[in-house]
Amino acid sequence: MNYQFNKILFGAFITGLLATACSDDDPISDGKPDPTNPTEQRMFSVAGAIHDEIPGNGNGGTVLYGFTKEQANDPEFEINAFEKGSPVKSQRTARLQSSVDGSIIFNIAYGGDVGGEFSKYRVNGGDNYEQFGGVVNISQYAGTAPRWVKLYDGDKTGVAVSVSTPEVTVDEEGNYLHTRGLATVVAIDFEEVVIANVKQFEIPLTEEEEKQGYHIYRLDAPALNAAGDKLIIGTWMGKTDPLTGLSDESAYDRLGSKSLVVDYPSLENPKIITSTVGHGDTSGYRSGNASLGDDGYIYQFSSRETTGGSRVMRISPDGEYDDSYELNLDEQLGVTNAYIESWKNVGNGFAYVMYRHDGSPAADFNDAGDVQSFVARVDLKAGTAENVNLPSHQNNYMNQYQGWAVDGDEVYISFSPVGEDGNIYILNSLTGEVKKGAKLINQPGNHFIGVW
């Protein structure tokens, strides 16, 4: 592939797009999360994932329903999102973000004819989601199913990331050299609704790692450091069999958890950092798996570990792994192979996680091998974790869970079995208290994927 030629065309195309993109004159809240300042009039949204032929898969689209803080805390208030909610632009399960105060929902359509289209909506309650501020489509760079998150910079920016299908390179004699994809990082200006910056580059690993066939297969879950000058991006490791040039399907080691670091806002100077604490991927799944803590460190969890369950690691303010820190959920929760499915760093030095483990009860809503999920409260400073007392049900499947709404010391989550009614629950991050909130009305095969 002629990358120099592609870069010239790419730069010209971006210039044209930036000149013609839609603009938005409506301001967005610039308040950063402040755990000491809960918002009395905060709006919330709950998202429901619709199934297609297979119950629980969420591949039939997404709906939203808006409500007030008073309604969220009322166990008598019913939220019937699947019957009375607003559809979201997304062929499959939408990847949603919200403003700090919950008054705006940000969406990049996932799949379909509008895949890669960024838009934003005012949350007016019920099914009233008012689109405003224009639209910009990033599919030319990040594909029609981009991985993306909102940066915690005052609701100003979102970053989407992707890697093209990795290509095998051999020398003139046909000897295997390496496998690499082309990484893309796209910054979206939420206020103007334009593409603020785009960069593309290869992501080489060490010579020895590449000889063995290792490569970066996926990027996800960017997080901005405290100084606002480094972007930490999670990775998913892939491996090629050097003898055949085909994907290595064996249970290979992942050589330490890795992240991609780029300068921000330039998105330049990419480099790979490696943890010796974790040995799994750092890309997460539907949930952002890295976030900035109160102490200036970025906390990140691993998945698909080859040496036990998910680890919580931390990255220093200057963008390097701090291998003196490790939180092992297996040890803290007394389980084997804890697998973090979703998490939220909620301030006050605490995080909440949804996880499964070896021996989790099998779900019975389909035959896909899905299992029950659990919730734990994690003290990031002390390096400890404890289970949260929530209703137990084998169909509490949370692998696609995304949304944790934080309001002061309180964390709002949706919690219900697939295809069955449940509730909003309010978790107090300081005391560990659990309070039942509004009732969630479900439909067979569907499930809830979060509160924003």
Domain contains 217: yes
pLDDT number for residue 38: 58
Question: Which pLDDT band holds residue 264 (cuts at 50, 70, 90)?
Answer: very high
Mean local confidence (pLDDT), 349-362: 96
Q: Are residues 58 and 99 in the same domain?
A: no
Given a cut of 70, whether residue 17 has pLDDT beyond it is no
User: In degrees rounded to 5, what are phi and psi of residue 344?
Assistant: -145, 125
Q: Are residues 99 and 236 in the same domain?
A: yes
CA distance linking residue 448 with residue 437, whole number of Å: 15
pLDDT number for residue 420: 98
Given a cut of 90, whether residue 41 has pLDDT beyond it is no
Number of domains composing the chain? 2
Q: Are residues 379 and 450 in the same domain?
A: yes
Q: What angle do CA 273, 223, 111 make, to 5 degrees?
A: 105
Q: Are residues 69 and 149 in the same domain?
A: no
Q: Are residues 60 and 163 in the same domain?
A: no
Give whole-number Cα distances, 390 to 80, 365, 417, in Å: 21, 20, 12
Mean local confidence (pLDDT), 42-55: 95
pLDDT number for residue 438: 98
Domain contains 5: no
Domain contains 101: yes
Range of the domain at 185: 94-282
Q: What is the CA radius of gyration of the chain?
A: 21
Domain contains 130: yes
Given a cut of 90, whether residue 305 has pLDDT beyond it is no
pTM > 0.85: yes
Mean local confidence (pLDDT), 363-392: 96
Given a cut of 70, whether residue 33 has pLDDT beyond it is no
Q: Are residues 108 and 80 in the same domain?
A: no
Mean local confidence (pLDDT), 5-11: 38
Is the N-terminal amide bond of 265 cis, ω within 30° of 0?
A: yes
5 burial level (CB within 10 Å; 0-12, 13-18, 19+): exposed
Domain contains 6: no
Mean local confidence (pLDDT), 392-401: 96
Q: Are residues 142 and 66 in the same domain?
A: no
Question: Which pLDDT band holds residue 284 (cuts at 50, 70, 90)?
Answer: confident
pLDDT number for residue 27: 33
pLDDT tens figures, 228-251: 999 999 999 999 999 999 999 888
pLDDT tens figures, 424-442: 999 999 999 999 999 999 9
pLDDT number for residue 230: 97
Number of C-beta neighbours around residue 426 at 10 A: 22
pLDDT tens figures, 154-192: 999 999 999 999 999 999 999 999 999 999 999 999 999
pLDDT number for residue 72: 98
Question: Which pLDDT band holds residue 286 (cuts at 50, 70, 90)?
Answer: confident
Beta strands, E only, 7-116: 43-49, 62-68, 78-79, 86-87, 95-98, 104-108
pLDDT number for residue 287: 81
From 282, 311, 337, give the residue that closes a domain: 282
Domain contains 316: no
Q: Are residues 68 and 118 in the same domain?
A: no
User: In degrees rounded to 5, what are phi and psi of residue 250?
Assistant: -75, 170
More confident residue, 1 or 144: 144
Domain contains 159: yes
More confident residue, 10 or 142: 142
CA distance linking residue 232 with residue 261, whole number of Å: 5
pLDDT number for residue 37: 55
From 251, 267, 282, give the residue that closes a domain: 282
Q: Are residues 80 and 187 in the same domain?
A: no
Q: Are residues 183 and 268 in the same domain?
A: yes
Mean local confidence (pLDDT), 362-366: 96
Q: Which two tokens stand for residue 253?
A: 């080691």
Question: Which pLDDT band holds residue 25 (cuts at 50, 70, 90)?
Answer: very low
Q: Are residues 253 and 113 in the same domain?
A: yes
CA distance linking residue 149 with residue 130, whole number of Å: 21
Q: What whole-number percentage of the chain has pLDDT above 70?
A: 91
Domain contains 99: yes
Given a cut of 90, whether residue 298 has pLDDT beyond it is yes
Q: Are residues 350 and 214 in the same domain?
A: no
The closest alpha carbon to 190, from 88, 73, 253, 105, belongs to 105
